[in-house]
Amino acid sequence: MMYVLDASVIIKWFSEEEFTDTAVEIRNRFFKGKCELAAPDLALYEVPNALRFNPNFNDDDVIEAVNSLFDMGISIIVPTPRVIKSSIAIAFKYNITIYDAFYVALANEIGFTFVTADSKLCQKTKDMKSVRHISEIKF
């Protein structure tokens, strides 16, 4: 499998939440070479921002978490004009943020499945075959 993960899934690698087990299994499968993972560079801002507001994390913890993302070797994708244009179209069509739309557009561009823990986003994009809630990921 090939997944684009958003921050709502990646954060589960660092804190115990609903669906943490599935998020960790995705990561473990990546380490075993059983799946490919990608994320837009936007995730490198969203993940530490979310962890910064987690009372269980201090600044060193957040730095360590971000460093681990770099060390994992996940494909970090920089925006291209084509994906940005697609993001804008998706954002307007589905009434979602450009940030969320960028994950969707990136997954579509590279032929991956976009995985999120954001139920509202999944509801708004339910007709898109490339978008999956983390609860839908089965091994």
pLDDT in tens, 90-106: 999 999 999 999 999 99
Burial of 134 (0-12, 13-18, 19+ CB in 10 A): buried
pTM over 0.85: yes
Confidence category of residue 20, pLDDT binned at 50, 70, 90: very high
Comparing CA positions, the residue from 136, 134, 139 lying closest to residue 17 is: 134
Token readout for 85 is 């244009």
Domain 2-77+111-136 in CATH 3.20.20.10? The answer is no
Q: In the prediction, which pLDDT does 102 show?
A: 97
**Rounded Cα–Cα distance for residues 124 and 126 (Å):** 6
Q: In the prediction, which pLDDT does 79 show?
A: 92
Q: How far is CA 132 from CA 75, 94, 113, in A?
A: 19, 15, 7
